[in-house]
Amino acid sequence: MTNVNIIGLGMIRFNKYPERGVRDMAHEVINLALSDAGIKKEDLQAGFFSNTFWGMFDNQHSIRGQVVLRSMGIGAIPVVNVENACAGASTALHLAYTGIRAGMVDMALVVGSEKITHPDKIKSLSAYATCMDVDNFAKALEMMEKANTLFQVDIPDGQTPPGEGRSIFMDAYAMGARWHMTRFGSTQRQLAVICAKNHFHGSLNPMSQYQMDMTVDEVMAAKPIAYPLTRPMCAPVGDGAAAAIVCSEAYLAKLKNARPVKIRASVHGSGTDRDFDGEDIGERLVKKAYDMAGVGPGDISLAELHDATAYGELHQTEAMGFCPIGQGGPYAETGATRIGGKQPVNTSGGLECRGHPIGASGLAQIYELGVQLRGEAGKRQVAGARLGLAENGGGNIGVEEAAMCIHILEKA
């Protein structure tokens, strides 16, 4: 089977764009990716389009990819519409990867575009709840409330009930963080160290929604969201789009001046019913990714991990094998995950700072790894970057993600 290479990347800065829509943001990043790859839209052989909320906000429930591509003069090719909550864009990339590996196409376009900001803020926040089991939503709330008594963590006064004035996912992450504090002794300050690190990284990234540096003390003193999370520790609501063009070895050989990045591994899976101490979906899937790539966690130069909150990064550094389980907080305190450290994590600023427009986030991770492995990341460049890992989770059922994709990319 052929190797699969990324030959084109496109992304706009994630931000709040009240005047923009899913379609025009997608058009922009597609054109950027085509230009980056040095090909024309007529060369595209297949398309994979990721979006989650377009139907909820603008009633475009179906044929989203066809609507976007046809309106910019791209027709006839097969287009697959992908919805996998926050993991939609990485799932779209996985599908393109499998199609090329199978020899069905030689080159494919992958796009993620999402519009979440809305004049009605409650509508925006309530949209996130559709990334959970809506028929059992009350059960999820009950589990979160029960966790408050199970985990021996003193929660300060003034915390609002789950889901009020925030995404319900912040409560899910807060529940996980309190479990980790009880089980391993991690601290709120360690989460603040992770968050401050990401704000530093985001301050170096022109594509980041938040570009202001913050100290650990500033993060600790910020508005509480759901203990132990403060506002800077949580991904913001925002809009944006990203795209990638992938091809086979045979197609790559035809191109002049290509700057490819090789996909060494692409793994996709779903969560399971388990308790807090069971094997995590990330631990399960990353073993497959390392096996496929023929590498181990110590070989990874940098990683983009799904940090919808600072606890997400703490947890995933453990799940990916970068440090022992339970040691994510102390590991961050060593500086290992900061640019210049042993294994930089979320050099883009992560979801906390780069932003998290659901259907585009997975490809934003790929964009960051791509520019890093090409040596084009400017002030945030990781010296000697050779292998990059992206972990992108989507939705939630029970105590873990409903879906997840892990990609390992290699410098050409």
Active site residues: 86, 356
Peptide bond into 260 cis (omega under 30): no
Question: Is residue 277 within 8 Å of 138, Cβ to Cβ?
Answer: no
The CA angle 123-125-126, to the nearest 5 degrees, is 65
| E-only strand ranges, 87-133 | 107-114
60 contacts: CB under 8 Å, gap ≥ 6: 22, 54, 67
Phi-psi region of 326 (alpha: psi -120 to 50; beta: other; left: phi over 0): left
Q: Are 235 and 352 in contact (CB under 8 A)?
A: yes
Distance set, CA 107 to CA 39, 79, 101, 129, 388 (Å): 11, 13, 11, 35, 22
**Could you tell me which of 34, 22, 50 has the C-alpha nearest to residue 107?**
34
At a CB cut-off of 8 Å and minimum separation 6, what does 391 contact?
282, 286, 303, 304, 305, 306, 316, 319, 320, 404, 405, 406
